[in-house]
Amino acid sequence: MRWDDVARAGRIAAAADPVLAGIYGASIRMGATAQDFAVPGLEYQIIADTAGELWEPIIVQWDQWVSDYDDLVASERALRKLFDHDLPVVIEGVYMWSVFTDGASLVDAPDRAGFYGRAVRFRLSPIREDLRPGRST
């Protein structure tokens, strides 16, 4: 099981990013139904995970809630810079493949809502837990 490692690494990396910290401040958190819907806010959630012979692909969705269009663009650029790479990377100590998969709007009519919402998904694939260095099966 690696989704917890990936979630932790993602949260720390996002909070340490100056652009994301500037837009969202302390409102970077794991999405949960009980929490209030806040703008600006950056929430992440584990969408799906599985395990292959070597890797454990995990799909993580980031929900970006902002009131300014330029902030939305800057936020997505920062997220892609953090999590979209052609080769494996080490993010907060976790060695993994990390690629952008897709994105979608979360608000049907942003003009009427007065805020923007956009989800972006990344596929993060760390090595299987039992194959990590220093561990045996």
In the complex, which residues of this chain contact another protein (CB under 8 A)? 31, 33, 37, 45, 47-50, 52, 57, 59, 61, 63, 101, 104-109, 112-113, 117, 119, 121
Q: How far is the CB of 132 from another protein (least distance, A)?
A: 21
Pairing of strands 58-66, 89-91: unpaired
User: For another protein, which is the closer residue by CB, 27 or 45?
Assistant: 45
Q: Which is nearer to another protein, 21 or 99 (CB)?
A: 99
Distance CA 107, CA 123 (A): 23
Q: Which is nearer to another protein, 34 or 93 (CB)?
A: 34
- Going by C-beta distance under 8 Å and a sequence separation of 6 or more, which residues neighbour residue 116? 64, 65, 66, 67, 68, 69, 71, 72, 107, 110
Least distance to another protein from the beta carbon of 88, Å? 18
Q: Report in angstroms how near the CB of residue 35 gets to another protein at its nearest.
A: 9
Report, in Å, the least distance between residue 30 CB and another protein: 11
Complex with another protein: residue 4 or 92, whichever CB lies closer: 4
CA–CA gap between residue 118 and residue 130 (Å, rounded): 35
Q: Hey, what amino acid is at 7?
A: A
